[in-house]
Structure 1
């Protein structure tokens, strides 16, 4: 659970003398996620009840982008513990390529809208609150990153962070910053597939 300046992780399964090795992976992913909340929720506040995707989605994007899709020593060590040959530099590069291809397909095809801007107690029909906040909430900025380009996207994210440092931001604030960097039809089409007008 995240709190500004405090990360609480249940490590009971990991601290047992005999624990499944996948607990190490879960623990490192949980820590990566909760550290991400120090930026999005802790430093740049948002209303986690009315706009849960805003902090969870950006945090998941950072968790996956930094931890899962970047070759790191801790992830490499975890793969060795689990005797996994999947986590190699080559496979990480391939996974990033596939994600970019999938994002481009989403951008270029007439995809069904997956609205994420709903409060926790009132998600769109047929959408689970957790999926809305975490998964679709991460897909939105990930696809925006491809539509805008990585450099401009991270410049916009840096601007968002600096602008709303120790303030409470809204989804509209985030979108205003994104549109400041790229207000093209392509970017607005992505926004319209996730943000219900």
Structure 2
């Protein structure tokens, strides 16, 4: 376990289910749309675990807790080992949730659950190499969970978004160049090799080149990654 966190409230309702022998507990607050929020968050967690297990490998714990938590408007959630905190917007207290509210819950839950694989199982330095986990969580949310496939690289990034959007673009292009089958094999290899260990960019690239050392893949690596991270 890389971190320790506690979320506590005497106002929580809890709803539980199981998938692949894993107990999922969703802690949420009462409200006019609370029932819908609970069903949506819990089902997204179930679908995420099924998809990411198939693509990357098994979830390492016997339980996963989801909790509504207060965050600033620009934060969708936060990840810890066996715990994902989801932004406490006003979904559950609205008379009728909008499409944006539904999308936000799906995006936030799938993204934070993806972190159970990348950062909480395969760790990395969040300060110097944050795209290894944030880019992969963003990629898993959008591409693996199939929310918004990427067709081109955005030309400009806000510095705070580089780890998310830049990382997602790199993974998306890498998957395109390698092909889905070879990319999936490499990701499972990476996950299994560094299961409950710490990985670096150099470690990740070594796994990728083991599965595809083509000129196209190497050109992409040179385009995106500073040589200092590969030495």
Matched, 1:191 2:224: no
| RCO comparison, higher one (Cα < 8 Å, 6+) | 1
Aligned partners of 1:8 and 1:59: how far apart in 2?
A: 15
Higher helix proportion, which one?
Answer: 1
Q: TM-score, normalised by structure 2?
A: 0.60
Structure 1 runs (4+) deviating above 4 angstroms are none
Structure 2 gaps, min length 5: 1-77
Counterpart Cα distance in 1 of 2:144 and 2:219: 27
Please name the residue that 2:131 is paired with: 53
Partner residue in 1 for 2:158: 128
Equivalent residue number for residue 199 of structure 2: 169
Task: Verify: 1:27 aligned to 2:105, yes or no.
Answer: yes
Deviation at residue 19 of structure 1 after TM alignment: 5.3
CA RMSD of aligned residues (A): 2.1
Q: Deviations over 1:84-141 (max 9, x none)?
A: xxxxxxxxxxx75xx4xx46xx7xxxxxxx8xxxxxxxxxxx8533221000110001
Q: Distance in 1 between matches of 2:157 and 2:143?
A: 24
Say whether 1:160 aligns with 2:190: yes
Q: For the Cα contact (< 8 Å) 2:134–2:164, is it kept in 1?
A: yes
Q: Which residue of 2 aligns with 1:13?
A: 90
1:139 to 159, 169, 174: 169
| Unmatched tracts of structure 1, length 5 or more | 70-94, 107-113, 115-125
Q: Distance in 1 between matches of 2:120 and 2:137?
A: 11
Aligned residue pairs: how many? 149
Give the distance between the partners of 2:216 and 2:202, measured in 1 at CA. Answer: 18
Structure 2 CA distance for aligned equivalents of residues 66 and 146 of structure 1: 13
| Structure 1 contact 13–19 (Cα < 8 Å) conserved | no
In the superposition, the TM-score normalised over structure 1's length comes to 0.70
**1:64 pairs with one of 142, 154, 175:** 142
Asked whether the 8 Å contact 2:118–2:133 carries over to 1, the reply is yes
Tell me which residue corresponds to 2:25: none
* Matching residue within 39, 48, 65 for 2:117: 39
Q: Distance in 1 between matches of 2:170 and 2:127?
A: 18
Q: Is the 8 A contact 1:11 1:27 kept in 2?
A: no
| Pair 16,57 (structure 1): closer, same or farther in 2 beyond 3 Å | same
1:29/1:67 contact within 8 Å kept: no
